Amino acid sequence: MADRLKSLIDNKSRLGSLILLVFACAYLRASLDVQIDMTFGEESFNSRTMPIALAVASIACALVQLLTPLIGQSSDPSTPDDATEQFYDGLKRANWRQVVSLLILMLLYTFTFQWLGFFLGGASFLFCGFLLLGERSYFTAAIVALALVGTMWLLLTQLFGLFLDSGELLRILSGLSS
């Protein structure tokens, strides 16, 4: 029993799957606590549907990776296999400045969402993200960002009937804020 547990923990891929399984189970438990609006309680698609589906899919993926034998695993644990070497090479070649910049941009988007709202905040986030990722044309970045956010806004508000905040800035500019 201890040997099986040690072989499970020694393998990075399986350890990652085990961690994903634990988090997915906790997420499933938390998603079962999501409150359902009584007016939509009988609907087949409600506020719990997507979180539960995501948790179940994550649990399934983690279990598949945990239970399938590893392909290309070397018998000698001191010898790294090709996948491990490729993984570390990929980490060395990663553009960490770009990664950190995108993380900072996501935090900025989160902190300014209430002020800018869904449309302005989402469009500016995508525009800046495209530029950070190397898009050279401001026009293309702006058109794609506006089209994506506009399409999402139409789908979420008109098709699903969700309220998306327009933001404090738009309310001040339109005179609706006190």
Question: Residues 138-169: pLDDT tens digits?
Answer: 999 999 999 999 999 999 888 888 888 888 98
69 and 9, same domain (yes or no): yes
CA 51 to chain centre: 12
Find the domain containing 59 and state its range: 2-81
Question: Residues 95-144: pLDDT tens digits?
Answer: 889 999 999 999 999 999 999 999 999 999 999 999 999 999 999 999 99
Question: Residues 62-92: pLDDT tens digits?
Answer: 888 888 765 555 555 555 567 667 767 777 8
64 and 125, same domain (yes or no): no
Distances in Å between the alpha carbon of 125 and those of 101, 121, 129, 139, 145? 12, 6, 6, 15, 8
77 and 102, same domain (yes or no): no
Domain assignment present for 88 = no
Question: Into how many domains does the chain fold?
Answer: 2
> What does the pLDDT read at residue 177?
59
Domain assignment present for 116 = yes
Domain assignment present for 165 = yes
117 and 50, same domain (yes or no): no
Domain assignment present for 10 = yes
100 and 76, same domain (yes or no): no
77 and 15, same domain (yes or no): yes
CA–CA separation, 24 and 64 (whole Å):
14
